[in-house]
Chains A and B, each alone.
Chain A
C-alpha cells in the first residue's frame, strides 16, 4: 500500500508523506464510480474503504463504501464525507450522499471489531465495520483512526501518536473487481490512466 514509502509522524504539510488514496495504489470503487458519472466530484482526492453497516450490538446489515474527500487540493484535510452502497436494482455501487465533514463526527466504536461510529449533527448515527483482507484490517483501520484524530484535533497534527511503520505489501482489494468483464477491465485501465493515482494523495494517513 505504501509503495515502498514509510509513513512518518505528521509534520508540516509540505514534509508530510503522501500516499495513494487506495490501498492498492489505484482508484477505489467509489472514485471510479464518481469518475464515471459525477463530473463535479471526479477529481477529488478520496480515501475510501469498504464497510458493513452493523447495529450497535454488531449485527450485520448492509454493505457501505465510505470515503472522505477534499473538495480542493489546497485543503490540508478532507472536508467531505461520501457514502455509497450497492444499488437495489443491479448491485452496482451508487453514491447515496455527500456530507460536509463539519456536520459529521467519526468515532471509534469498537476497535477490536474494527468498528467506527458515524454521527451527524442532526443526531442520526450509525455503525460501520471495516471490511478488508484479514492481514490488512488493522493497518487500514489504523488509517481511519488517524484520520478521525486529525479531524478532531486539526491543530495537533505534529503530535499525532500514530507512528508505527508498515511494511510495504502487495495485496489485492477485496472488492468486486475479480468479476469484471474484459470490457470493464479495459474501461478501468482507461480510467486509471486518467485519474492517475498519484493525484489521490492523502493526508498522511
Chain B
C-alpha cells in the first residue's frame, strides 16, 4: 500500500512499563497480559491518515532492560518520534525518565517529537505517580503528555496519532527536512512531494482521532 510518508518511531522506557503491549494494542488491537521480555528491537507498522495523507508508522519497540540498553540505544538514530513510557503504578519508572530522555536526546535528531506516556491508567487504585507529575515533567522538558492503558486501549490510538500529527506539523513548518534520512522521515514510494509541504484544507480523516479524548 502506498503512503506519502514513513515516520520512524521508537518506544523507550523501563522494562515492564508496557511498551510492547502498547505496540500490540496499536497494531493488532489486542492486549496480551503476559509478554516475553523484549531483547533487541521488535517492529510493528501501521498506516494512519493525517490531514488527508496516508502515513506509515514504522515502530521500533526497544528492550527496556538495562543489560540490553547499550545495544538498543544505537537504534534511536533516525527516529522522527519517540514514545517515552513509564508505569503510573511504579514510581521508579517515572524517576528514570530523565536518564531515558538524555539517551534519546543524545542519540537522535533534535527535532524528534517525544510523547511522554504514563501507561497502565486502568490500575487507578495502584497509582503511584500523579497525573499532574507527568504533566509537569512533560511541560518542563517540552514533551507531549498522555496517560494510556494498553489493556483497555484507552488513549493508545491518540498517543501514536498525536505524535504523528506533531511530526507532520513540523514538516509543514519546514522544521523537518524530509529528504534527510537522519530525521526519521521517508517519502513514500512513487510520491512526488516538494520539501515544503503546504497546509491542507482537509482536517478529518478515517484514521484521525481527537486529541485528549478523555477516556482515561
Contact = CB atoms under 8 A, between A and B. Distances in A.
Nearest to A98: B41
Interface in A70-94: 71, 80, 87, 89-90, 94
Interface of A: 36-40, 71, 80, 87, 89-90, 94-100, 103-104, 120-122, 124, 187
Nearest to A90: B1
Nearest to B28: A88
7 contacts: A37-B6, A39-B78, A40-B77, A94-B43, A95-B43, A103-B68, A120-B39
B76 to A, nearest CB: 10
| Main DSSP-derived SS at the B contact region | mixed
B172 interface: no
A122 B39 contact: yes
A42 to B, nearest CB: 10
Contacts of A94: 43, 45
B40 A99 contact: yes
Nearest to B188: A37
B181 A103 contact: no
A124 B40 contact: no
B71 A39 contact: no
B100 interface: no
B213 to A, nearest CB: 25
Interface in B20-58: 36-37, 39-43, 45, 58
Contacts of B40: 80, 97-100, 103
A100 B69 CA distance: 11
- Interface centre among A40, A87, A103, A122, by most chain B C-beta atoms within 10 angstroms, is A40
Interface of B: 1, 6, 36-37, 39-43, 45, 58, 68, 71, 74-75, 77-78, 181, 186, 189
A122 B43 contact: no
A71 B75 CA distance: 11
Contacts of A71: 74
Contacts of A97: 40-43
B37 to A, nearest CB: 5
Nearest to B27: A88
Interface of A is mostly: mixed
A37 B43 contact: no
A37 B186 contact: yes
A98 B37 CA distance: 14
Contacts of A36: 189
Given A37-B6, A98-B75, A122-B36, 16 more contacts: A36-B189, A38-B58, A39-B181, A40-B75, A40-B77, A96-B43, A97-B40, A97-B43, A98-B42, A99-B41, A100-B68, A103-B68, A104-B39, A120-B36, A120-B39, A121-B39
Contact of A39 (B39, B43, B186): B186
A80 B41 CA distance: 11
Contacts of A187: 189
B159 to A, nearest CB: 22
Contact of B39 (A38, A90, A95, A99): A99
A37 B58 contact: yes
Contacts of A122: 36-37, 39
B65 to A, nearest CB: 10
Contacts of A121: 39
A98 B43 contact: yes
Nearest to A97: B42
A100 B71 contact: yes
Contacts of B189: 36, 187
Contact of A100 (B39, B43, B58): B39
Nearest to B58: A37
Nearest to B79: A40
